[in-house]
Copies of this chain bind each other. A is one copy, B any other.
Amino acid sequence: MTRPLSVAVAGLGTVGAGVLTLLRDNADIVTARAGRPIAVTAVSARDRTRDRGVALSGLHWYDDPVALATDPRVDVVVELIGGSEGPARALVQAALAAGKPVVSANKALLAVHGAELADLAERHEVTLAFEAAVAGGIPAIKALREGLSANRISRVAGILTGTCNYILTVMREHGREFADVLADAQKLGYAEADPAFDIDGIDAAHKLAILAALAFGRPVAFDDVYVEGIRNVSALDIAFADELGYRIKLLGIARQTEAGIEARVHPCMIPMAAPIALVDGVFNAVVAEADFAGRVMLQGRGAGAGPTASAVVADLIDIARGRATPVWGAASGALSDVPSLPMSSHVGAYYLRLMVVDRPGVIADVTAVLRDHGISLESMLQRGRSPGEAVPIVMVTHDTNEAAMRVALSLIAELDTVLEAPAMIRIEAG
């Protein structure tokens, strides 16, 4: 038997404890698949005294995580600290610079500093692996970067936050409003005490930036991702979606067109027949459209100690076996330099809902604005009559340019018969 792969783990929260538990419980199969034992020999975490449910005796303990990078007994560094700056970034930089492979679950770090870290890894000829950074237990990064490596990918899309998907699922199933379901999700531990990162779509945008870089073989470009969260999705719109044959999901979508790459995170209406429309609750899913393989979808658990540990240890097994892949799938010199496209150039169909005063001429005013901006309607829904009262009007447009839509919406919002800010949800194929 070869000597064990010696691993240092920085960060012993839920995921760190999960990694230690997995390596203990599945030591037999991990050893068989890695071709050698994988042993955690050093750790770093803030609190030495907290009970994490796994034995930590006999491990070298460092108060400063960055010190793990230079411990000569350590073969591989696992970074589970989180955050795009501070000790996580410093540790990953130091480890790569010291020629040690790194496994990280840190989507923010990869999304924000991934281009620079990929260069560093390439210069020092070491692996930087991050299967756990996107979609937890689903081997989405491996599937895109290796499984579909022979394909030109035209689009990648995903349900990338279980928290948002859970909230939207409960809203639909029980007809409840966002704030109400969020409060419950926080009580149940499905949403963070400060949920902004999830529900405003930032977390999904980090993951999408990573998926887009892999799918299109280009350096990661987080700043170019358009982001819109789910705070404004209402129970009323979910009910209308149902009536129109759609499901509302928070999707991350990246698409390569002749003009460039568009990457965006926002609530979408997806036809109910699309497989991704049926992925409910805390589950994640990733769909890739590949020129030879066709459409491939993966679904599973996107978060939690077990799924994340599964991804971290899979990366460790790859490293133990000597299986290496450049960070973004190709060497830096072979990456694409296709430009990012602004959201204003997006073209697609839109769902609009207006609360208007029910009186003659209202629809004529609204549709005149749409017509003046080249926006044509596929369907319109107005039900019930309450003369003089507020009623919803729902419209679905044909393919329209985002810039034109925004101008039209701002004009419509100013009409004095329109009582609330219009609701707008983009329609996606799924």
Q: In the complex, identify which listed stretch (A192-200, A231-239, A312-320) lies at the interface while the others stay far away.
A: A312-320
Contact between B293 and A137, CB atoms less than 8 A apart: yes
Q: Is A259 an interface residue (CB 8 A)?
A: no
Q: Is A93 an interface residue (CB 8 A)?
A: no
Known: A26-B150, A150-B314, A294-B300. A32 touches B142 (CB 8 A): no
Picked from B299, B323, B329, B335, the residue with its CB within 8 Å of the CB of A296 is B299
Chain B: CB-nearest residue to A333: B32
Q: Is A70 an interface residue (CB 8 A)?
A: no
Contact between A334 and B137, CB atoms less than 8 A apart: no
Q: Is A146 an interface residue (CB 8 A)?
A: yes
Picked from B30, B307, B318, B331, the residue with its CB within 8 Å of the CB of A35 is B331
Which residues from chain B contact A299 at a C-beta distance below 8 Å? 275, 296-297
Q: Is A147 an interface residue (CB 8 A)?
A: yes
Q: Encode contact with B along A131-172: 1 for CB under 8 Å, 0 otherwise.
A: 100001111001100111111100000000000000000000
Which residues from chain B contact A26 at a C-beta distance below 8 Å? 150-152, 291-292
Contact between A298 and B296, CB atoms less than 8 A apart: yes
Interfacial residues of chain A within 285-335, with CB under 8 A of chain B in the complex: 290-301, 304, 306-307, 309-314, 316-318, 321-326, 329-331, 334-335
Known: A296-B298, A301-B294. A139 touches B148 (CB 8 A): yes
Q: Is A219 an interface residue (CB 8 A)?
A: no
Q: Is A33 an interface residue (CB 8 A)?
A: yes
Which residues from chain B contact A18 at a C-beta distance below 8 Å? 292
Give the distance in Å from the alpha carbon of A151 to the alpha carbon of B313 in the complex. Answer: 9
Contact between A298 and B301, CB atoms less than 8 A apart: no
Picked from B25, B34, B143, B278, the residue with its CB within 8 Å of the CB of A147 is B143
Picked from B279, B307, B324, B334, the residue with its CB within 8 Å of the CB of A293 is B307
Which residues from chain B contact A318 at a C-beta distance below 8 Å? 146
Q: Is A429 an interface residue (CB 8 A)?
A: no
Q: Is A29 an interface residue (CB 8 A)?
A: yes
Q: Encode contact with B along A263-299: 1 for CB under 8 Å, 0 otherwise.
A: 0000000000001001100000000001111111111
Closest 4 CB pairs of A and B: A139-B147, A137-B293, A150-B313, A32-B334
Interface residues, chain A, CB within 8 Å of chain B?
Answer: 18, 22, 25-26, 29-35, 131, 136-139, 142-143, 146-152, 217, 275, 278-279, 290-301, 304, 306-307, 309-314, 316-318, 321-326, 329-331, 334-335
Task: Give me 5 A-to-B residue pairs in the complex whose CB atoms sit less than 8 angstroms apart, sorted by A's number.
Answer: A33-B149, A137-B292, A147-B314, A150-B312, A298-B298
